[in-house]
């Protein structure tokens, strides 16, 4: 049943709705799939998939649903018969080969074919025996065998199965980590619109009022257009265990610091854990007291921390636990983190470490203080939703790891 | 396959891949908008022009900007002009309809013939923009509140929407579209495309140009990789200046037509 393909797609997390499925059925009713598997592949893809990041999942679903169809012996038999009936196709064979083939006979050939299908448990390219592509076996397609039987797929070009199997769109998957542009796109969601700045829009109601008051003589009133009033504070962990992620953090910073994006944007650095001071520069020369930051900024500003949250438990939990030998912190790192989280109404911690490393580490402890998200496109989108609307925090470690 | 289907197969100046042709034809047959995505410069906008030419329909373009509102596409009610007119009394202020100007979408729906409507770079506008268009695109009709007039499409226009992926488009909107991602052409298709624009070019020179071009695209860490349109411009510049590509050593002439920012130039210099 074709409907199983729908469920296979949904299982692969391609978000196909019944609306699209009906569209596909209508299209097939009109014969738009050209009665071929290739046509169906293209048709189904352009109707069901709406984002290149889902192409790979679609390919996988297609492969898993149609791999049995592909080697459907009954459908292939006609091809075999045709091939055997057509004497022209024997041209490329040597005398010996021809004899050998004739000696095989049709039944024999069919039997061999089925047997090999059974023996073969995966796709095969090249080689001289298995059914597949590019080989010298008489079965398969795109091969060198002078008179091979082509199974499925049109000659020349790439068949749907081949396209699906190449999985060319793997790189576009969403759970992959991001580039600046993608972060840019995601950050556009982070906004709170309000009217301020130069007056440009005509305010109709006010104009009517003003004109009335002006004894009917026209008085035009303009208001400022809507602008983003979101204020953002970005706190970045640099150095040490964060080095492998420095490029990622740099990209996030680049995207966030674009001028005009936020009403105000401040960024600070820390190493490993936040104590009484954070720094304006990544070289830790210009300290800013966390207490000052808290006193100076309003609760409505959004705080985003980027860090791997991995450290020795002592660095987080005990006073004097700072990674720097000469630095004695009177309050534990966890205390400072909690103060920050308490002050701001909306906070998020973005962690580049994959979910599976979170349990039973300091990440788990920090995730119980800050709402923590994985620094991937999906995680970032979730974090932004939380920053804009608040609502339920993610489960510190229960968050399902996607692999 | 019916005759009504399979109408579009590229034009003499536009080479469309099989996938793309099918997507256009599916969108045509199902009367659903076609959403095109892909790298900048892969011919998303040009496609609409060529679909219009090849199907013999009029093209109405709507170039979306960051300030565009969905309603602007339907109609604009010029209140200010009417107010001003009322002040000086030099036009018929009572006739509201003369102050209503149809936008591109409005014109496409009001047209007597089937037209191609291009909504270019839909992602430039506000995030909610596509959602505001849902009803109009679904029902292909709209209401002018000021005059109480309803405009219903006689022929559903063929809608082509392009997006540069700047913003995520809402699901409800996507569900109504046919989607196609214009993949970057491979060498074979690219040869065909260049041939269309430069028909009398020597085989060898073309091959060399393409080799250089694809090598350039493969340079790691380049931010803005050159696209098809840039390749065509570059070849045009080369031919105009009469540069023999086979004699050029390590440097690439007219690099400025291919790379558009200093960092990329610097990266190339280092390699």
Read off the pLDDT of residues B124-137 as tens digits, 9 standing for 90 and up. Answer: 777 678 888 888 88
So what's the pLDDT on residue B116?
Answer: 93
Q: Could you give the C-alpha distances from A292 to A239, A251, A330, A343, in angstroms and in order?
A: 24, 28, 17, 12
Q: CA–CA separation, A186 vs A189, rounded Å?
A: 6
Parallel/antiparallel/unpaired status of strands B34-38 and B178-182: parallel
Q: CA–CA separation, B14 vs B12, rounded Å?
A: 6
A364 vs B244, more confident: A364
So what's the pLDDT on residue A142?
Answer: 38
Per DSSP, the three-state class of B116 is strand
B119 vs A401, more confident: B119
Give me the mean pLDDT over the B28-54 stretch: 87
Predicted TM-score (pTM) of the model is 0.61
Are B83 and A218 a contacting pair at CB < 8 A?
Answer: yes
Q: How many CA atoms lie within 13 A of B194 on its CB side?
A: 29
Smallest CA–CA separation between B259 and chain A, in Å? 18
Over 50: is that where the pLDDT of A147 sits?
no
SS (H, E, C) A91-154: CCCCHHHHHHHHHHHHHHHHHHHHHHHHHCCCCCECCCCCCEECCCCCEEECCCCCCCECCCCC
**Domain residue limits, chain A:** 3-71+165-172, 73-150, 183-192+229-389, 195-227
Q: Report the CATH number of the A183-192+229-389 domain.
A: 3.40.50
pLDDT tens, A148-202?
344 433 334 455 666 666 666 665 555 444 555 666 666 777 776 666 666 677 7
Neighbours of A271 (CB within 10 A): 20
**Which residues of chain B are within 8 Å of residue A15 when distances are taken between CB atoms?**
171
B119 vs A214, more confident: B119
Are B165 and A181 a contacting pair at CB < 8 A?
Answer: yes
Interface check A224 vs B, CB under 8 A: no
So what's the pLDDT on residue A101?
Answer: 56
Worst-scoring range by mean pLDDT, A130-134, A253-257, B85-89?
Answer: A130-134
Question: Under a CB-based contact definition with an 8 Å cutoff, are residues A10 and A16 in contact?
Answer: yes
Per DSSP, the three-state class of B140 is coil
pLDDT tens, A294-316?
888 888 888 999 888 888 887 78
Position A144 confidence tier, pLDDT thresholds 50, 70, 90: very low
Question: Under a CB-based contact definition with an 8 Å cutoff, are residues A348 and A304 in contact?
Answer: yes
So what's the pLDDT on residue A198?
Answer: 64
Interface check A250 vs B, CB under 8 A: no
B92 vs A387, more confident: A387
Interface check B19 vs A, CB under 8 A: yes
Where is mean pLDDT largest: A23-32, A157-166, A324-333? A23-32
Over 90: is that where the pLDDT of A225 sits?
no
Smallest CA–CA separation between A187 and chain B, in Å? 10
Q: CA–CA separation, A101 vs A149, rounded Å?
A: 13
Q: A–B: how many Cβ contacts below 8 A?
A: 85
Question: Under a CB-based contact definition with an 8 Å cutoff, are residues B80 and B69 in contact?
Answer: no
Question: What are residue A228's DSSP bridge partners?
Answer: A193
**Which residues of chain B are within 8 Å of residue A189 when distances are taken between CB atoms?**
127, 168
> Which A residues in the span 170-209 are in contact with B, Cβ-Cβ below 8 Å?
181, 184-185, 188-189, 202, 204, 207
The DSSP output letter for A149 is B
Closest Cβ–Cβ partner in A17, A26, A168 for B30: A26
Give me the mean pLDDT over the B72-96 stretch: 81
Give me the mean pLDDT over the B144-149 stretch: 87
Interface check B174 vs A, CB under 8 A: yes
Question: Under a CB-based contact definition with an 8 Å cutoff, are residues A245 and A352 in contact?
Answer: yes
Q: CA–CA separation, B66 vs A71, rounded Å?
A: 51
B228 vs A98, more confident: B228
Position B217 confidence tier, pLDDT thresholds 50, 70, 90: confident
Region of B267 on the Ramachandran plot (φ > 0 left; ψ -120 to 50 alpha; else beta): alpha
Angle, vertex CA A18, rays to CA A15 and CA A24, nearest 5: 95
Q: CA–CA separation, B108 vs B114, rounded Å?
A: 8
Taking alpha carbons only, the member of A280, A300, A378 closest to residue A53 is: A378
Rg (chain A; Cα; Å): 32
What H or E segment, with its residue span, contains residue B159? strand B158-163
Q: CA–CA separation, A272 vs A284, rounded Å?
A: 12
So what's the pLDDT on residue B21?
Answer: 87
pLDDT tens, B157-193?
999 999 876 666 777 888 889 999 888 888 888 888 8
Considering only alpha carbons, which residue of chain A is nearest residue B123?
Answer: A185
Q: CA–CA separation, A322 vs A274, rounded Å?
A: 9
Question: Under a CB-based contact definition with an 8 Å cutoff, are residues A74 and A114 in contact?
Answer: no
So what's the pLDDT on residue B99?
Answer: 87
Angle, vertex CA A37, rays to CA A33 and CA A40, nearest 5: 35
ipTM reported for the complex, 2 dp: 0.76
Over 50: is that where the pLDDT of B154 sits?
yes
Taking alpha carbons only, the member of A329, A345, A331, A254 closest to residue A294 is: A345
Beta carbons within 8 Å of B146's beta carbon, 6+ residues apart = B77, B96, B100
Question: What are residue B36's DSSP bridge partners?
Answer: B162, B180
Give me the mean pLDDT over the A70-90 stretch: 49
Q: Which two tokens stand for residue A131?
A: 């059914």
> Which A residues in the span 316-355 are in contact with B, Cβ-Cβ below 8 Å?
none
Q: CA–CA separation, B80 vs B22, rounded Å?
A: 46
Smallest CA–CA separation between B258 and chain A, in Å? 20
Q: CA–CA separation, A353 vs A245, rounded Å?
A: 9
Are B79 and A202 a contacting pair at CB < 8 A?
Answer: yes
So what's the pLDDT on residue A96?
Answer: 61
Over 80: is that where the pLDDT of A117 sits?
no
> Which B residues in the span 29-48 are in contact with A, Cβ-Cβ below 8 Å?
29-30, 32, 35, 37
Interface check B188 vs A, CB under 8 A: no
A265 vs A129, more confident: A265
Q: Which two tokens stand for residue A380?
A: 């970032």
Question: How many helices, marked H, and strands, marked E, lie in chain A?
Answer: 15, 13
So what's the pLDDT on residue A110?
Answer: 58
Give me the mean pLDDT over the A261-266 stretch: 81
Considering only alpha carbons, which residue of chain A is nearest residue B18?
Answer: A42
A202 CB-contact burial (10 Å; exposed 0-12 / middle 13-18 / buried 19+): middle
Give me the mean pLDDT over the A345-355 stretch: 88
Over 80: is that where the pLDDT of A387 sits?
yes
Smallest CA–CA separation between B254 and chain A, in Å? 27
Question: What are residue A193's DSSP bridge partners?
Answer: A228
B221 CB-contact burial (10 Å; exposed 0-12 / middle 13-18 / buried 19+): exposed
């Amino acid at each position: 049943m074709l409907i199983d393909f729908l469920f296979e797609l949904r299982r692969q997390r391609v978000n196909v709705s019944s609306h699209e499925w009906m569209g596909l059925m209508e299209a097939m009713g009109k014969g738009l799939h050209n009665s071929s598997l290739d046509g169906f592949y293209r048709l189904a893809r352009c109707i069901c998939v709406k984002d290149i990041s889902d192409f790979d999942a679609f390919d996988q679903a297609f492969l898993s649903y149609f791999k049995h169809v592909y080697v459907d012996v009954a459908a292939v038999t006609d091809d075999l018969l045709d091939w055997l009936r057509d004497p022209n196709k024997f041209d490329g064979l040597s005398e010996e080969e021809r004899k050998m083939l004739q000696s095989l006979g049709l039944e024999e050939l069919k039997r061999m074919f089925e047997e090999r299908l059974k023996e073969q448990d995966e796709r095969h390219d090249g080689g001289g025996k298995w059914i597949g592509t590019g080989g010298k076996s008489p079965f398969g397609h795109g091969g060198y065998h002078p008179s091979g039987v082509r199974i499925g797929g049109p000659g020349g070009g790439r068949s749907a199965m081949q396209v699906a199997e190449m999985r060319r769109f793997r790189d576009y998957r969403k759970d992959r980590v991001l580039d600046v542009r993608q972060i840019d796109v995601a950050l556009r969601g982070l906004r709170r619109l309000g009217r301020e700045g130069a007056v440009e829009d005509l305010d109709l109601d006010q104009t009517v009022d003003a004109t009335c008051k002006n004894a009917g003589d026209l008085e035009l009133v303009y208001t400022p257009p809507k602008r983003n009033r979101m204020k953002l504070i970005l706190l970045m962990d640099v150095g040490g265990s964060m080095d492998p992620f420095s490029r990622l953090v740099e990209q996030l910073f680049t995207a966030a610091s674009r001028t005009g994006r936020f009403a105000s944007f401040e960024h600070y650095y820390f190493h490993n854990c936040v104590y009484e001071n954070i720094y304006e520069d990544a070289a830790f020369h210009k300290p800013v007291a966390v207490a000052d930051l808290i006193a100076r900024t309003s609760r409505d500003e959004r705080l985003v921390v980027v860090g791997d949250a991995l450290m020795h438990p002592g660095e987080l939990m005990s006073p004097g636990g700072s990674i720097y030998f000469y630095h004695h912190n009177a309050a534990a790192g966890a205390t400072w983190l909690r103060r920050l989280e308490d002050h701001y109404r909306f906070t998020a911690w973005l962690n580049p470490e994959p979910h599976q490393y979170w349990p039973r580490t300091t990440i788990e402890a920090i995730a119980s203080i800050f709402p923590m998200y994985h620094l991937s496109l999906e995680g970032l989108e979730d974090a932004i939703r939380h920053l804009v609307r608040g609502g339920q925090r993610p489960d510190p470690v229960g968050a399902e790891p996607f692999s | 396959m019916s005759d009504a289907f399979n109408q579009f197969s590229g034009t003499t100046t536009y080479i469309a891949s099989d996938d793309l042709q099918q997507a256009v034809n599916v969108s045509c047959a199902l009367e659903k908008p076609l959403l095109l995505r892909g790298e900048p410069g892969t011919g998303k906008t040009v496609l609409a022009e060529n679909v219009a030419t090849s199907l013999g329909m009029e093209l109405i373009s709507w170039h979306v900007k960051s300030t565009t509102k969905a309603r602007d596409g339907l109609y604009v009610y010029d209140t200010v002009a009417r107010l001003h007119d009322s002040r000086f009394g030099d036009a018929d202020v009572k006739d509201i309809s003369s102050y209503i100007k149809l936008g591109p979408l409005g014109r496409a729906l009001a047209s007597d013939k089937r037209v191609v409507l291009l909504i270019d770079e839909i992602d430039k506008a506000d995030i909610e923009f596509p959602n505001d268009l849902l009803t109009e695109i679904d029902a292909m009709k709209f209401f002018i509140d000021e005059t109480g007039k309803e405009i219903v499409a006689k022929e559903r226009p063929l809608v082509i929407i392009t997006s540069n992926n700047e913003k995520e488009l809402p699901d409800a909107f996507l569900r109504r579209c046919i989607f196609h991602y214009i993949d970057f052409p491979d060498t074979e298709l690219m040869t065909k495309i260049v041939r269309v624009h430069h028909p009398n070019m020597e085989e060898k020179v073309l091959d060399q140009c393409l080799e250089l071009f694809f090598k350039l695209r493969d340079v790691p860490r380049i931010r803005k990789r050159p696209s098809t349109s840039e390749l065509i411009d570059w070849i045009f510049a080369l031919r105009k200046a009469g540069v023999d590509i086979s004699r050029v050593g390590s440097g690439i002439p007219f690099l400025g037509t291919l790379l558009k920012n200093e960092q990329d130039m610097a990266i190339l210099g280092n390699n």
